[in-house]
Structure 1
């Protein structure tokens, strides 16, 4: 389950920011996760609670904003929304798609004190 290692990386980033900016408590963490990122959101939620124990984010609320997958069809040139990496183009049926969005994962917002 790579979600635990993702949570450990998030914890490291949060600890660095807390040291750099001088806050002690993180009340809320908002993550932006693309639907094509391969991250299992429920496993990430579970892992977040486990990994954040003993940190500034121990009692933080985790909000996750999922972003849609987008691609450009190499056959017809259309920009399209896709739910999975190997979906066909809904316009022409081609599978020659270049993913343009939906693979990202980032910390979008923090509420601290």
Structure 2
């Protein structure tokens, strides 16, 4: 289950960012996950909940945006959604489109942080 190692990396990234911002509390981490990334979102969510225990992210939420597969069509010359991940063809003209422009990503795109209260 490689989702656990991915979840741990996300936590490391968020903890590092929290420390650079004066130990701000991490409320949420936003990800973009492409359908061709090889990551199962539900497994990543479960792994994140397990890995976040006893860290600065113990109460943080993982918000995932599912990214569809887009291809650049050599026939139409534009970017289109692929018919499916099994057939990377232009959804307009049906031409096989080997250039994937979206759908492989796995990236942290934002974090919601809250300053720690000083007592």
TM-score tier (shorter): 0.7 to 0.9
Q: Please tell me the root mean square deviation across aligned C-alpha atoms, in Å.
A: 1.9
Establish whether residue 48 from structure 1 lines up as the match of residue 48 from structure 2. yes
**8 Å Cα contact 2:14-2:111 kept in structure 1:** no
Partner of 2:36: 36
Q: Relative to structure 2, which stretch is displaced further, 103-112 or 38-47? A: 103-112
Q: Distance in 2 between matches of 1:14 and 1:100?
A: 27
Q: Secondary structure of the residue that 2:53 maps to in structure 1?
A: coil
Q: Distance in 1 between matches of 2:103 and 2:86?
A: 9
Residues 79/24 of structure 1: CA separation in 2 closer, same or farther (3 Å cut): closer
Superposed displacement of residue 6, structure 1? 0.8
Q: Secondary structure of the residue that 1:42 maps to in structure 2?
A: helix
**8 Å Cα contact 2:14-2:29 kept in structure 1:** no
Q: Secondary structure of the residue that 1:65 maps to in structure 2?
A: strand
Structure-2-length-normalised TM-score = 0.81
Structure-1-length-normalised TM-score = 0.84
Q: Secondary structure of the residue that 1:93 maps to in structure 2?
A: coil
Q: Which segments of 5 or more consecutive residues in structure 2 lack a partner in the other structure?
A: 115-119
Q: Distance in 1 between matches of 2:10 and 2:86?
A: 25
Partner of 1:79: 79
Q: Which segments of 5 or more consecutive residues in structure 1 lack a partner in the other structure?
A: none
Establish whether residue 108 from structure 1 lines up as the match of residue 109 from structure 2. yes
**8 Å Cα contact 1:36-1:69 kept in structure 2:** yes
